[in-house]
Structure 1
């Protein structure tokens, strides 16, 4: 895939106008984009790059899988992009036409726009993405911030998401800040300390997930993440979710209260399948087969 196709858009509402709205500098943005280019060139299966015009600016979508297969939308987390799915995509694209969306305002190849989360503008943006891709109803796999986006859309657009798999989703359990003082202290130790901070935040082992952590360090050295707290969905809003639903959280998540997430989903969405991984943190990896099984299983009669 050609690198020339992944220049980040500089237009869009709500983000201040240019890449420096979400990056610390143009030079830093260039470094992150270059790494993204490398990851896209190494995409494990054939893919098509699309740019979808939306009211918030251009949205970049990486499309894989058979054209006649059922559609599957993938939404990454904060500080991520479509490359977050590179370990899963070969499996999922066997059965689905996958659409890996770069969420606006994140370090991918979409517009830097950041519509307020306490409004309907994120859902309206996703309406535009769906229309631009020619999709009417979809299955969705989403993580963290992407999980919040998926839940917000499912609540506001009943019936459009037919099956929903969420990895450490935002908006259910509260965000936690207890890790922050330790992270600030570790930054005093330079790159080694920053890498250790990344391991704490993600819950990943420094030796076993070296490449992933290196990418996290590179991104957050140059990227300015959203600072507002994710709105928490009410019990009544969650009770309105009727589609088959899978939720996977890590019991060692330091970013989101996974125990509350699991409890609220079980109570408000009793038909949902909930897995709590005892050794996992915020980054939920190695769940490709579990998610595949959920996506492919026949919908139970209720």
Structure 2
């Protein structure tokens, strides 16, 4: 089965970080592996077994434990499934699907079917937003509602700014292993310092074959066919998917857009305050408050 680690030693380093992050969360977690047409998909599951199903889809170069850490309160109410997206530095193994067709949507719907999930709430960050929108394009019959934070696939930022502020520091780190380039990269992406990212992403840069394919945007005609309620959070200081640009286009093309919130001070990766706002929006759809869960 295919993966994209450059060496067994590098794979071991990344998966050790994965396991340590999961252990640090101190959750009661089930690990499931689902065979799909696109590869062996690993899913972590937590939360009450009789809770409504909710799946979190992480961003590019991410993993399932990050999803649990980002939205920790959802598992108090929902049966939460955190998927390791295929061809990312995690425990899934399979092909690198094309962003230009509906492969991601086919994969996700096959996964939901094999997990026997219906009326699922989908929550996605960054690249996870693309996966979710592709799922809705392919077949939205299993999906109840979606929540997208700083999502890919709606509007892109200035490629020159991204190249100079993100891509070049990343490449310089890969060539020199000088930590100052990682610090520059993370400072552009993260609203708040993230200790796990400080260890995990340098390992990914060194030991994983990342996908640098340009991210497409959803066609207006396809967006207008989606009927599932969409809640959108744009990041005001996001270089990759600028929040104002994302919200402006979304409001024009999605007839099922139920809410659109600009996180004014947020960079691409939100801080705890903004992640709490996103959690609260998910819970509010089910008439739950964060205070009632404490």
Give the structure-1-normalised TM-score: 0.84
Distance 1:176 1:137 in 2: 37
Structure 1 spans left out of the alignment, 5+ residues: 1-10, 12-16
Deviations 1:203-253 (A, max 9, x none): 334xx4333333222222222221212221022222233333221121211
SS in 2 for 1:139: strand
CA contact (8 A) 2:106 2:138 kept: no
1:77 corresponding residue in structure 2: 59
More displaced 10-residue stretch of structure 1: 116-125 or 100-109: 116-125
- CA shift for structure 1 position 88: 4.0
Distance 2:286 2:254 in 1: 15
CA contact (8 A) 1:53 1:128 kept: no
CA contact (8 A) 2:140 2:228 kept: no
1:279 corresponding residue in structure 2: 265
Distance 1:124 1:259 in 2: 30
> Does 1:218 find its partner at 2:200?
no
Query: Structure 2 residue aligned with 1:181, among 160, 164, 174?
Result: 164
More displaced 10-residue stretch of structure 1: 177-186 or 60-69: 177-186
1:289 corresponding residue in structure 2: 276
- CA shift for structure 1 position 36: 0.8
Comparing both structures, which one devotes a greater share of its residues to helix?
2
SS in 2 for 1:272: strand
Distance 1:176 1:299 in 2: 37
SS in 2 for 1:114: coil
> Does 1:68 find its partner at 2:54?
no
- CA shift for structure 1 position 43: 2.9
| Matching of residues 251-290 of structure 1 within 5 Å | 251-269=236-254, 271-286=257-272, 287-290=274-277
**Measured at CA, do residues 228 and 298 of structure 1 come closer, stay the same or move farther in structure 2, by a change above 3 Å?**
closer
Distance 1:111 1:176 in 2: 32
CA contact (8 A) 2:55 2:123 kept: yes
Distance 1:136 1:280 in 2: 33
Distance 1:182 1:90 in 2: 31
Aligned length, in residue pairs:
280
Distance 1:198 1:235 in 2: 32
SS in 1 for 2:178: helix
Structure 2 spans left out of the alignment, 5+ residues: 288-294
> In angstroms, what is the RMSD of aligned CA positions?
2.3
SS in 2 for 1:53: strand
- CA shift for structure 1 position 143: 0.8
Deviations 1:132-188 (A, max 9, x none): 211123101001111100011112213322111101111101254323234425647
More displaced 10-residue stretch of structure 1: 228-237 or 72-81: 228-237
1:169 corresponding residue in structure 2: 151
- CA shift for structure 1 position 53: 0.8
Distance 2:285 2:27 in 1: 27
Distance 1:162 1:285 in 2: 27
1:105 corresponding residue in structure 2: 87
CA contact (8 A) 2:58 2:127 kept: yes
CA contact (8 A) 1:77 1:145 kept: yes
Distance 1:124 1:85 in 2: 22
| Matching of residues 1-302 of structure 1 within 5 Å | 11=1, 17=2, 19=3, 22-177=4-159, 178-183=161-166, 184=168, 187=173, 190-205=177-192, 208-269=193-254, 271-286=257-272, 287-298=274-285
More displaced 10-residue stretch of structure 1: 234-243 or 139-148: 234-243
Deviations 1:84-118 (A, max 9, x none): 12324541011100000000000110014112122
Give the structure-2-normalised TM-score: 0.86
